């Protein structure tokens, strides 16, 4: 079967440096068998089908994310309902830069060896989060900052986090919420309801999963995430401690001090002095 070579420059216009698109696949004729001169990430927003990849077949379902290498030869087929995916194509020099800076010697992600590329199955809430991040950069396809920011967020999502015990199978939706919650202080005052809104699940179920995964209550986890936000603000800003306390969702300054000192074994003032001291 003839293999078409796709070139990134054929998809770019003006000063664009990457190409982002949403594609509906309804039949094998929608996209020809091809390889390309660029790196590609795609994820399935909804529906299911088959990935015809390097003379093999891999099922694709909602939540699947794949990182394609340039030498991979692939196309797609689907049933009657088809499936919708988002696709990000960008220069290989970006992949090379990321490997040199963050993944030196890695054999994962774009550097995975073997006949099949890297593939991960993510919770639908996580996929929605990735789609949301991608849509934010839709109008900025001429910006390396938006591309790099998206890729860093994605890699952080896929990498094991410091909050994840080695011997536990932490659901992807919970990992995503733990990473997203400290970056959304507007949710702090909502407490468990705010955290559960990121998870896309009922509070009781989230609490049970947190207990099973971390042997702690959801309330304890949320307090720790609030304190992470506080520590970052203390280290990199000059905001008054009382304001940081309020931003963390605490009404009582004494209670804020007590929780911070319990986790960091320092008062907020001592923590700020240590981390803002010039070397």
Of 134, 158, 182, which residue sits at a domain end?
A: 158
Does residue 216 sit in the same domain as residue 114?
Answer: no
Q: Is residue 29 part of a domain?
A: yes
User: What residues are paired with 46 via a beta bridge?
Assistant: 84
CA distance 55 to 35: 13
DSSP codes of every residue in 150-201? HHHHHHHHHSPPTTS-TTS---HHHHHHHHHGGG-GGGGGGTHHHHHHHHTS
Q: Is residue 43 part of a domain?
A: yes
Domain that holds residue 115: 4-158
Read off the tokens for 216.
């702690």
Read off the tokens for 242.
């009382």
* Whole-number pLDDT of residue 1: 65
What is the SS3 assignment for 118? strand
Does residue 44 sit in the same domain as residue 111?
Answer: yes
Q: Is residue 167 part of a domain?
A: no
* Whole-number pLDDT of residue 43: 96
* Tally of structural domains, the chain: 2
How many H-runs (helices) and E-runs (strands) does the chain carry?
10, 8
Does residue 128 sit in the same domain as residue 197?
Answer: no
What is the SS3 assignment for 19? strand
* Whole-number pLDDT of residue 146: 95
* Whole-number pLDDT of residue 160: 54
Does residue 111 sit in the same domain as residue 14?
Answer: yes
* Whole-number pLDDT of residue 277: 67
Does residue 27 sit in the same domain as residue 54?
Answer: yes
* Whole-number pLDDT of residue 143: 95
- Estimate the crossing angle of helix 192-199 against helix 218-236, to 10 degrees: 90
Q: Is residue 164 part of a domain?
A: no
* Whole-number pLDDT of residue 185: 81
Does residue 185 sit in the same domain as residue 227?
Answer: yes
Does residue 218 sit in the same domain as residue 115?
Answer: no
Does residue 150 sit in the same domain as residue 18?
Answer: yes
Q: Is residue 12 part of a domain?
A: yes
Q: Which of 72, 50, 73, 69 has the alpha carbon at shortest distance from 61? A: 50
Does residue 8 sit in the same domain as residue 44?
Answer: yes
Q: pTM of this prediction?
A: 0.61
Q: Is residue 166 part of a domain?
A: no
- Residue 12 belongs to a domain with what CATH number? 2.60.120.280
Per-residue pLDDT of the chain in tens (279 residues, 90 and over written 9): 688 999 999 999 999 999 999 999 987 777 889 999 999 999 999 999 999 999 888 999 998 999 999 999 999 998 778 999 999 999 999 999 999 999 988 888 999 888 899 988 877 777 888 999 999 999 999 999 999 999 998 988 777 544 444 445 688 888 888 888 887 788 898 999 999 988 888 999 999 999 998 899 999 999 999 998 899 888 878 889 999 999 999 999 999 999 999 999 999 999 988 877 654
* Whole-number pLDDT of residue 23: 92
Give Cα 169 to chain centroid, integer Å: 18
Does residue 181 sit in the same domain as residue 237?
Answer: yes
Whole-number Cα distances in Å, 164 to 86, 158, 167, 204, 272: 28, 12, 9, 20, 27
Does residue 150 sit in the same domain as residue 230?
Answer: no
Give Cα 144 to chain centroid, integer Å: 18
In this structure, are residues 135 and 115 in contact, taking their beta carbons and an 8 Å threshold?
no
Q: Which of 90, 1, 6, 102 has the alpha carbon at shortest distance from 40? A: 90
- Estimate the crossing angle of helix 192-199 against helix 172-180, to 10 degrees: 130
CA distance 34 to 110: 17
- Residue 191 belongs to a domain with what CATH number? 1.10.10.60
Q: Is residue 96 part of a domain?
A: yes
Q: Is residue 165 part of a domain?
A: no
Of 158, 191, 226, which residue sits at a domain end?
A: 158
- Estimate the crossing angle of helix 268-275 against helix 218-236, to 10 degrees: 50
């Amino acid at each position: 079967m003839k293999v078409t070579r796709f070139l990134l420059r054929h998809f770019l216009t003006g000063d664009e440096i990457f190409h982002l698109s949403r594609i509906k696949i309804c039949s094998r004729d929608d996209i020809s068998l091809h390889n390309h001169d660029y790196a590609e990430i795609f994820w399935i927003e909804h529906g299911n089908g088959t990935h015809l990849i390097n003379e093999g077949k891999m099922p694709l379902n909602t939540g699947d994310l794949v990182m394609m290498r340039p030498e991979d030869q692939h196309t797609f087929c689907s049933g009657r309902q088809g499936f919708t995916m988002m696709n990000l194509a960008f220069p290989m020099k970006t992949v090379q830069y990321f490997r040199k800076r963050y993944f030196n010697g890695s054999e994962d992600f774009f550097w995975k060896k073997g006949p099949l590329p890297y593939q991960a199955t993510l919770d639908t809430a996580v996929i929605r989060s990735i789609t949301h991040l991608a849509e934010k950069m839709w109008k900025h396809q001429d910006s390396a900052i938006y591309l790099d920011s998206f890729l860093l967020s994605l890699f952080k999502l896929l990498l094991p986090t410091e909050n994840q015990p080695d011997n536990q199978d932490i659901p992807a939706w919970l990992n995503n919420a733990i990473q997203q919650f400290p970056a959304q202080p507007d949710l702090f005052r909502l407490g468990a309801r705010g955290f559960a809104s990121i998870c896309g699940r009922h509070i009781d179920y989230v609490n049970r999963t947190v207990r099973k995964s971390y042997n702690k209550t959801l309330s304890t986890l949320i307090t720790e995430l609030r304190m992470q936000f506080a520590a970052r603000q203390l280290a990199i800003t000059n905001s008054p401690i009382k304001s940081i306390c309020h931003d963390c969702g605490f009404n009582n300054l004494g209670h804020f001090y007590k929780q911070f000192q319990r986790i960091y074994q320092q008062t907020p003032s001592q923590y700020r002095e240590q981390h803002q001291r010039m070397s």
